Amino acid sequence: MPHDIRKSFVLGGALSLAALSVHAESFNWASTTDPQTMDPHAVNSTPVLSFLNNIYEGLVRRAPDMSIEPSLATSWEPLEDENGWRFNLREGVTFQNGAAFTAADVMFSYERASDEAADTRSWFSPVTDVRIVDDYTIEVLTDSPNPLFPSSIANFMILDSDWATDNDAVLPAKDSENFATLNVNGTGPFTVASRDPGVRTVLTPNADWWDTPTHNITEATFTPIGNAATGLAALLSGDIDFIEPIPLQDVEQVERRDGFRVIEGEETRVIMFGFGHEHDTLLYSNDVTDTNPFTDPRVRLAAAHAIDIASIDRVLFRGKIEAASQLVPAGISGYSEAHQDRPAYDPERARELLAEAGYPDGFSFGLKCTNDRYINDEALCRAAASMFAAVGLDAQLSTGPVRDYWEQLRADDFDMFLLGWSPGTFDMEHPVRFLLHTQDDEAKLGSWNFGNYSNARVDELLPLFLQELDPAARQEMIDELVEITQDEVAYIPLYTQPLIWAVKDNIDVTQRADNFFMLRWVTVN
Amino acid sequence: MVFFLAKRLIQSVFVMLAVAFLAFSLFRFVGDPVSQMTGVETSVEDRERLRENLGLNDPFAYQFVRFTSDMLKGDFGFSYRTRQPVAEMIASRMPATLELGVVALLISLVVGIPAGVFTALRPRGYATQAILMITLVGVSIPTFVIGIMLIFFFGVQLGWLPTFGRGGTVNLGGWETSFLTVDGWRALILPALTLGVYQLTLTMRLVRAEMMDVMQSDYIRFATARGVPMGRLYFKHALANTMVPVITIIGLQFGGVIAFSIVTESVFQWPGMGLLFLESIRFVDIPVMGVYLVVIAFFFVLVNLIVDLLYVLIDPRLRISDVS
């Protein structure tokens, strides 16, 4: 019987071939985490925002190279007499339920996304007012000149105000779910055909999308697969077409097989070590208990000189990492070309510096790391601990899952810690705001500066360069800031970690540095 | 009988309360749910407000009493992760776990009992030695390794069976079943084998030991001498007398199968309660973890109760003592 079926396929092949190539294919993909909600304002995390960017759209969007391009706004310009921006909206756009998109929807979405119930409200902290000029023009006022504002709201997605109001989803779900947690109505290229949270989500193209589709997907199915080995097996067996990420150690296995490809790129996440700048004593030392040697910049520099990035790259990462000198990688706006050298691997110099600081025999301290947050994080910390040991710094390593890691760091329970940072706005201002500015809960600054690194000049420079409209003057200020933080060794930036995706050979996907996966750039050949 | 049942049910409430208490006191060490629920850019102030809203700042005793009294009222709360009602989430995942567990149990019985009888009747045969060896290997290798090996052999190399998920399911009045489609059955085979292999070995060895014991007893010799047909002798007279300990162990194991399907479900991305529990641990989703553990405790209690009742059915002596 199977033979007969195959024959009829061959016979019908000539007829159906043309239809097939136009009709394109269904596409199955997997990732480790299920987007926990379909509400674009409820959770500010990569799995959710990446997924929903296929369904909802913002005023602006990011191109494959991360640059900003028009989306629901066709153009934007700074206001003349006030601080703020005017957005000219696209006409003729409809939501997936057929409702027309107008400035009222932007206004509604702004109010929704900046409400206390929304996790996205930090994006709007510089905003003082939003006003509708006409149906297709909207103005956003900011407390000071804000050249970065348009790019900072690339993930601010627009909901239909009537749809949300009618379905009782005016605000993101707080305690219980609401209609927008499970249902969607965006303007984007795809819509949700069915969703079983944690199991399967099926997307279909939006036939009325305003832009010209470049993909050829007729149906896309997403499955979260938490177990890395299962994900790899699912890809190799052909059950899925694309998976991200795959573990570094599986790269060879995928490349060895015919019909599969590994796509590698650099993520924008910089991995670094941080210090307890403000701590009076070490918590986990066996020998130094009355003081904190890391308050001395020479000791911090010694620690930096002890790290051999080239070896870490070769042994742990198969040559796939890029050494980092500052808190953003090259290519991010604000990156300081003038300061692209990181402290060289120089154990001799490290020992000299320690001796100068009064620790010729070194000392012991606690190093805190995650073991499930970054690629090879635990192995990295073990390698670093042995490199520290070589210059006399005896690191007492403790590793644990990320789920209680931040709580420990917030409780100041560390001497030195591991941290990875991806600049959310794709500008140097992001790590400066969160990691380098003195902790200030009121002003919402320095909230991830666990060791409370504090430098008055750095604090002063942040608002200055944020408001600076002249790129050269801006870069000059950032250069000064980077120089200060490098001289003081505020952190030890180590490297940017790689993005590793695996895909069947007949599929083209586009990798973006923020690790967002856009279905509209997928072609099934 | 009614008194017996009532007593057991009251006991079970205490068991579940104890489990809830233990679970709840451990949750505080699992991690911080607020860090999981918010993005990196969320301000300290917003994070604190969320913590207050969730009642995480309340004293432990107060949180525990609130959790249990809500549950007694039938309010299982909402997931921190998805905001869905926990009762709904667990209910939607339960069919997957139960079907997997039942099929695994059936495999272990259908293969385990005949294999046990066979190996008991021919204790020195080559086939017996081979069976004993293979099952020993099966029981010594950790479940997740067996699962991965099966996936790579049957899923990747041969491409016969799907590597993950439930395949096609049919919704029967809210119960998503795999039993009604070919795809559903295909997807069930590997996970059920993985989960059932330990059970199978245990059942087989238990039946074998009991059977060998029974075959030595006087009434079997007497029946043999009287010329009772072999099939009737083995499977009616002998096997029936091995069943009491076998049912005890199998019953207790079934509770274990449901509870420890976590590993199998994770390896096969099987969307059951165990996978939900794992996802919840990763996210510090306290309401889901709490309810899951209480539900599992309930299963254990229920299975024990059923085992006790089965004794009465199988062993006539217990019936007599109950009456007297």
Task: Report the chain A residue with the minimal C-alpha distance to residue B282.
Answer: A403
pLDDT, tens only, A203-242: 999 999 999 999 999 999 999 998 889 999 999 999 999 9
Chain A CB within 8 Å of residue B270 CB: no
Residues A393/A363, Cβ–Cβ less than 8 Å? yes
Residues of A in contact with B276 (CB under 8 A): 198
pLDDT of residue B319: 62
pLDDT, tens only, B62-118: 888 888 888 888 888 899 988 889 999 999 999 999 999 999 999 988 998 888 888
User: How do A190-196 and A217-224 pair as beta strands?
Assistant: unpaired
pLDDT of residue B318: 65
CA dist B3 and B23 (Å) reads 30
Average pLDDT in the A54-61 region? 96
Element (H, E) at A397: strand A393-400
pLDDT, tens only, B236-263: 778 877 877 888 888 878 888 888 789 9
Q: Give contacts of A 108-147 with B, CB under 8 A.
A: 116, 119-123
Q: Give contacts of A 188-217 with B, CB under 8 A.
A: 196-200
Residues of B in contact with A45 (CB under 8 A): 39
Chain B CB within 8 Å of residue A36 CB: yes
Chain A CB within 8 Å of residue B158 CB: no
pLDDT of residue A378: 95
Residues of B in contact with A118 (CB under 8 A): none
pLDDT of residue B42: 86
Q: How confident is the model at residue B188 (pLDDT cuts 50, 70, 90)?
A: very high
Contact B275 A448 (CB under 8 A): no
pLDDT of residue A361: 92
Task: Report the chain A residue with the minimal C-alpha distance to residue B159.
Answer: A237
Contact B31 A226 (CB under 8 A): no
Best of A52, A119, A232, A452 to mutate (most B CBs within 10 Å, chain B): A119
CB count, 10 Å around CB of A141?
16
Residues of A in contact with B41 (CB under 8 A): 44, 122-123, 424, 434
CB count, 10 Å around CB of A280?
9
Chain-centre distance of CA A333, in angstroms? 15
pLDDT, tens only, A171-184: 998 777 889 999 99
Contact B284 A407 (CB under 8 A): no
User: Which residues, listed in sequence order, are joined to residue B78 by a DSSP beta bridge?
Assistant: B85
pLDDT of residue B32: 84
pLDDT of residue A17: 39
pLDDT, tens only, A362-406: 999 999 999 989 999 999 999 999 999 999 999 999 999 988 899
Contact B82 A181 (CB under 8 A): yes
CA dist B16 and B290 (Å) reads 11
pLDDT of residue B1: 66
CA dist B250 and B229 (Å) reads 29
pLDDT of residue A14: 37
CA dist B215 and B213 (Å) reads 6
Chain B CB within 8 Å of residue A259 CB: no
Angle at A45 between CA A309 and CA B59, to 5 degrees: 105
pLDDT of residue B320: 54
Task: With a cut of 90, say whether residue A150 has pLDDT above it.
Answer: yes
Torsion angle of C-alpha atoms B148, B154, B156, B158, degrees rounded to 10: 160
Residues of B in contact with A44 (CB under 8 A): 38-42
pLDDT of residue A24: 52
Q: How confident is the model at residue A10 (pLDDT cuts 50, 70, 90)?
A: very low
Contact B32 A173 (CB under 8 A): no
Which residue has tokens 């059920």?
B192
Task: Report the chain A residue with the minimal C-alpha distance to residue B28.
Answer: A404
pLDDT of residue A314: 93
Q: How far is A38 from chain B (nearest CA, A)?
A: 9
Which residue has tokens 């090879």?
A376
Element (H, E) at A313: helix A309-317
Contact A37 B43 (CB under 8 A): no
Residues of A in contact with B83 (CB under 8 A): 37, 42, 173, 175-178, 181
Chain A CB within 8 Å of residue B269 CB: yes
Contact B156 A116 (CB under 8 A): no
Task: Report the chain B residue with the minimal C-alpha distance to residue A123.
Answer: B41
Contact A43 B39 (CB under 8 A): yes
User: Which residues, listed in sequence order, are joined to residue A524 by a DSSP beta bridge?
Assistant: A507
Task: Report the chain B residue with the minimal C-alpha distance to residue A448.
Answer: B40
Of B84, B164, B281, the CB nearest to A225: B164
Radius of gyration of chain B (CA): 24
Chain B CB within 8 Å of residue A179 CB: no
Chain A CB within 8 Å of residue B268 CB: yes
Strand locations in A123-189 (E)? 127-134, 137-142
Q: How confident is the model at residue A413 (pLDDT cuts 50, 70, 90)?
A: very high
Q: How confident is the model at residue B35 (pLDDT cuts 50, 70, 90)?
A: confident
The whole-model pTM stands at: 0.87
pLDDT, tens only, B287-323: 999 899 988 888 888 888 888 777 777 776 766 554 4
Task: Report the chain A residue with the minimal C-alpha distance to residue B281.
Answer: A403
Task: With a cut of 60, say whether residue A11 has pLDDT above it.
Answer: no
Q: Give contacts of A 224-243 with B, CB under 8 A.
A: 224-227, 229-230, 233-234, 236-239
Q: Which residue has the higher pLDDT, A284 or B312?
A: A284
Which residue has tokens 């046990």?
B116
pLDDT of residue B67: 86
Chain A CB within 8 Å of residue B43 CB: yes
What is the complex's ipTM, to 2 decimals? Answer: 0.85
Average pLDDT in the A107-129 region? 93
Q: How far is A70 from chain B (nearest CA, A)?
A: 25
Residues of B in contact with A34 (CB under 8 A): 279
User: How do A60-62 and A68-70 pair as beta strands?
Assistant: antiparallel
Task: With a cut of 90, say whether residue B30 has pLDDT above it.
Answer: no
Q: How far is A36 from chain B (nearest CA, A)?
A: 5
Q: How far is B89 from chain A (nearest CA, A)?
A: 9
Tokens of A284: 């986990």
pLDDT, tens only, B144-161: 899 999 999 999 889 899
pLDDT of residue A338: 93
Task: With a cut of 90, say whether residue B234 has pLDDT above it.
Answer: no
pLDDT of residue A236: 93
Task: Report the chain A residue with the minimal C-alpha distance to residue B145.
Answer: A229
Contact B44 A226 (CB under 8 A): no
pLDDT of residue B241: 78
Q: What is the mean pLDDT of chain B?
A: 85
CA dist B181 and B192 (Å) reads 16
Residues of A in contact with B284 (CB under 8 A): 403-404
pLDDT of residue A5: 38
Q: Provide DSSP, A223-249.
A: EE---HHHHHHHHHTTS-SEEE---GG
Q: How far is A471 from chain B (nearest CA, A)?
A: 25
Of A225, A407, A441, the CB nearest to B44: A441
pLDDT, tens only, B101-111: 999 999 988 99
Residues B142/B264, Cβ–Cβ less than 8 Å? no
Q: How far is B58 from chain A (nearest CA, A)?
A: 17
Does A245 sit behind a cis peptide bond, omega within 30 degrees of 0 on the bond before it? yes
Instruction: Name the 3-class secondary structure at B21.
Output: helix
pLDDT of residue A101: 96
pLDDT of residue B210: 87
Q: How confident is the model at residue A21 (pLDDT cuts 50, 70, 90)?
A: very low
